[in-house]
Amino acid sequence: MKHIEFWFSIGSTYSFLTVSRLPAIERETGIRFDWRPFSVRAIMLEMNNIPFANKPVKARYMWRDIERRAAMHGLKPTLPAPYPLTEFDLANRVAVLARAEGWCHDYVTATYRRWFLAGEPAGSEPNLGDTLRELGRDRDEVAGRAMSEAIGTAYLEATDEARSRGIFGAPSFVVGDELFWGDDRLEDAIAWFREGRLRGSADQEDRP
């Protein structure tokens, strides 16, 4: 295995935590992550799984949980962030295009920063335009190509691949045939990538 697959959808709230800390983890560990955008919304609708919309009690917990975990990682988001996204598919189609051209990492990181720190919904203005300008790209040109048939097909194919591999939520991490779901499983994915297993207190018995 040469890398860990990082499956995400811009629109996943918990993915903010992963997106915000993954660049530093990549630098510190030397492990490469393959950023894989797909439509988690399509898969969740098929499963009749709408986790937070119209569920205020669960939504309150989600925002508080993200706030606690963000503080643990030294992050200071402005919560609650605008949710759900009205331009979910456009945000992710741009990510599919960006992955094909090698600038997905920078696009997704900047998009989440504006969404969770500045309160600008991903995929909408001014987030999309400002993010693309930051990356030296023309908003209309990129958006036009992102809405092309070719990118639409690539988006569907990525979602089909995620579905076929048992991915049902975001963020998800894949190491070989092993699936780890949720930002709080990132460290488990790294451990599996390095050693092919998880370590715990029972491993103390293996030490001399």
The per-residue pLDDT for 60 is 94
In this prediction, what percent of the chain has a pLDDT beyond 70? Answer: 93
Fold observed for domain 4-197: Glutaredoxin (3.40.30)
CA distance 54 to 58: 9
What is the rounded distance in angstroms from the CA atom of residue 141 to the CA atom of residue 145? 6
pLDDT exceeds cutoff 60 at 118 = yes
What is the β-pairing status of strands 172-175 and 33-37? unpaired
- What is the average pLDDT across 46-66? 83
> Is 207 a residue whose pLDDT tops 50?
no
Confidence of residue 124 (pLDDT cuts 50, 70, 90): very high
Domain coordinates of the chain in residue numbers? 4-197
C-alpha separations of 185 from 3, 145, 191 in Å: 16, 34, 10
What would the pLDDT profile of 149-196 be if each residue is shown by its tens digit? 999 999 999 999 999 999 999 999 999 999 999 999 999 999 999 999
The predicted structure's pLDDT at residue 49: 67
Report residue 51: phi and psi, to 5°.
Answer: -70, -35
Specify burial of residue 28 (Cβ count, 10 A radius: 0-12, 13-18, 19+). exposed
For residue 200, name the pLDDT band (cuts at 50, 70, 90). confident
